Amino acid sequence: MRRRRRRQIYGDRKQNSAYRPVFFTMARIISRQKKLRSVLYIGLMLGSFVTLIYLAVSKGVLLFREKINISGSVVTISDLWQLGNYAEVAAVAEKELKEHPLDRSALIYAGFAHFHLAIARLSAEERNSDLDMAIAYLRLLKAIDDTDNPGQVDYILGKAYLLKGTYWADLAIKYLQASLDLGYESDDSFEFMGKAYSMLGDVENALFWYELAAETHPTDRLLITLGDEASRLGRYESAVEYYKQSIDTTKNEELKSRALSHLGQLYYDVGNFLMAKEVFETLVSIEPNNQDYQFNLGETYYQLGMNTEARNAWFAVFRINPEHIGVLHRLYD
């Protein structure tokens, strides 16, 4: 009985041991399947995440490209122009001109931008370089005869030539006159015509245009210029009136002193020493350390026979500038 029982137990154990490999195999398969599903799930999640990143980056690149395209458009040039960023305006316009050399808008912006850059230059070489580029672009624009505002183009051309100096004053008159003939009139059109004629030594025409400018925009600076031109023509009474108008209307102390100085010199030149004395005394009271005002006052005293006052004024100049040639002659000759 015991042997049978042992065999039965042994047989049961043997039978159970036969089923063990199958059980463990199934468990392993199930475990692997779970791991595989987890890996697949994680892979899908990572793939989706990478896809989203790719799409986001791609969208960003597209937006960046769109931004670049917009920055090169005429609309953006207009915005830059409104902001006064003339260097950027010129750069964008010239980039466009490399691909489209006869593009009307690019030529206008390039020409106008270089003109405004020239005004701000401190170096004469840089200023002339910008003026030359402005003239080249605007002359090309006129050559293709394709602009909606030819009067303004002629106006800028005229001012550009005028800023280049006396040798281009005739071309300044040509283009400024053309702009006026086309009906384009800026606040300073008449004044620049006067300056151009003045550069050429045509005082009569210069005064004519300056007077036209004063009728519409009588600035304190323009009134001083009118006084100078009238004085050059020997119209002393008119010159005095222009200087006095400038003195009475200006709020700029520097311009006031300048107008007084010109008025005092005019009185001295025509021999009206009493009026010159009054003006120079006013100037000295405003700027007692100005050697020129003190010296002119001394000269005026001398002409009036006020020798003590004259020497006092000259000594005042000597204290300001011991090397003043005029004073050294007056005191030691």
User: Which tens digit of pLDDT belongs to each residue from 241-298?
Assistant: 999 999 999 999 999 999 999 999 999 999 999 999 999 999 999 999 999 999 999 9
CA distance 330 to 307: 11
User: Which tens digit of pLDDT belongs to each residue from 156-194?
Assistant: 999 999 999 999 999 999 999 999 999 999 989 999 999
The stretch 106-121 carries a mean pLDDT of 93
What is the pLDDT at residue 278?
A: 96
CA distance 162 to 167: 9
CA distance 327 to 333: 10
What is the pLDDT at residue 6?
A: 39
Output the six-digit token pair for 179: 């702009």
90 and 112 Cβ atoms separated by less than 8 Å? no
CA distance 90 to 113: 6
239 and 228 Cβ atoms separated by less than 8 Å? yes
| Residue 233, pLDDT above cutoff 70 | yes
User: Which tens digit of pLDDT belongs to each residue from 13-42?
Assistant: 444 444 444 433 444 444 555 554 554 545
- The CB-side HSE value for 91 (13 A sphere, CA atoms) comes to 7
Q: Which residue has the tokens 């004259």?
A: 310
User: Which tens digit of pLDDT belongs to each residue from 195-220?
Assistant: 999 999 999 999 999 999 999 888 88
Nearest CA to 93 among 84, 104, 83, 119? 104
200 and 170 Cβ atoms separated by less than 8 Å? yes
The stretch 301-325 carries a mean pLDDT of 94
pTM here? Answer: 0.66
What is the pLDDT at residue 35?
A: 52
What is the pLDDT at residue 65?
A: 33
259 and 225 Cβ atoms separated by less than 8 Å? no
Nearest CA to 152 among 128, 186, 201? 186
254 and 221 Cβ atoms separated by less than 8 Å? no
DSSP for 271-302, please give it.
T-HHHHHHHHHHHHHH-TT-HHHHHHHHHHHH
Burial class (CB in 10 A: 0-12, 13-18, 19+), 147: middle
Output the six-digit token pair for 208: 């004519």
What is the pLDDT at residue 32?
A: 55
| Residue 89, pLDDT above cutoff 70 | yes
Give the confidence band of 149 by pLDDT, cuts at 50, 70, 90.
confident
What is the pLDDT at residue 167?
A: 95
CA distance 44 to 33: 16
What is the pLDDT at residue 302?
A: 95
3-state secondary structure 214-273: HHHCCCHHHHHHHHHHHHHCCCHHHHHHHHHHHHHHCCCHHHHHHHHHHHHHHHHHCCCH
The stretch 311-321 carries a mean pLDDT of 94
User: Which tens digit of pLDDT belongs to each residue from 66-87?
Assistant: 333 444 444 477 888 888 889 9
What is the pLDDT at residue 295?
A: 95
Which residues of the chain form beta strands (DSSP E)? none
